[in-house]
């Protein structure tokens, strides 16, 4: 029987699904793809779940450009029936810009960036109603893509 890489006195049959080294129940981490050693569990989480600071900055810049900047264009065209259409289009473009800028990340972080930038644009341009429509559209889009 193999001995745990972390506890040489513990015999174990478990191995890390990532690097294959022997691990024991004391330090193993259960992930969606199996048991992993603490190092690999940490590395994978950092790689896939969190938006990196640089990507977050890019996402915010994209959100400000399309979401906040777009408010003035959206506000100029909005009115009556078109308010809803423009809001959906504007929110959708902002969501896509934020998602791409953040390196393809979806879900909470991108949704929050898009929503804040759209809200800020709505406040600055006075086009609040169209901004609310856009926020709903952006959140729906990011959440829908995320769930796929
Ligand atoms: Zn490992
Ligand atoms: Zn161990």
pLDDT by position in tens, the chain (length 148): 799 999 999 999 999 988 999 999 999 988 888 899 998 887 755 445 556 788 889 999 999 999 998 888 888 877 777 888 999 999 999 999 998 888 776 666 888 899 999 999 999 988 888 999 999 999 888 864 444 4
Query: 15 and 76: one domain?
Result: no
Q: Tell me the CA–centroid distance for residue 106 and ligand 1, in Å.
A: 27
C-alpha of residue 36 to centroid of ligand 2, in Å: 11
Of 144, 118, 134, 123, the C-alpha closest to 82 is 134
Residue 27 CA to ligand 2 centre (angstroms): 5
Count up the domains in the chain and report the number.
2
- Same domain flag for 78 and 123: yes
Cα(30) to ligand 2 centroid in Å equals 14
- Flag whether the pTM goes above 0.95: no
Q: By residue range, what is the domain housing residue 58?
A: 53-147
Residues 26 and 73 in one domain: no
| Same domain? 25 vs 78 | no
What does the DSSP 8-state code read for residue 5?
Answer: S
CA of 40 relative to ligand 1 center, distance in Å? 5
Same domain assignment for residues 126 and 74: yes
Chain CA centroid to CA 81, Å:
32
């Amino acid at each position: 029987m193999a001995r745990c890489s972390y506890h040489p006195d513990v015999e174990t049959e478990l191995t890390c699904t990532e690097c294959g080294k022997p691990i024991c129940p004391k330090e193993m981490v259960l992930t969606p793809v199996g048991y992993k050693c603490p190092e690999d569990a940490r590395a994978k989480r950092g790689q896939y779940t969190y938006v990196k600071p640089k990507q977050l900055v890019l996402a915010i810049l994209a959100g400000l450009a399309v979401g906040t900047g777009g408010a003035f264009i959206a506000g100029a065209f909005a009115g009556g029936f078109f308010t809803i259409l423009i809001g959906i289009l504007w929110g959708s473009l902002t969501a896509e810009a934020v998602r791409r800028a953040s390196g393809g990340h979806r879900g909470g972080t991108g949704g929050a960036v898009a929503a804040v930038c759209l809200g800020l644009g709505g406040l600055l341009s006075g086009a609040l109603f169209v901004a609310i429509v856009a926020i709903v559209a952006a959140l729906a889009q990011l959440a829908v893509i995320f769930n796929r």
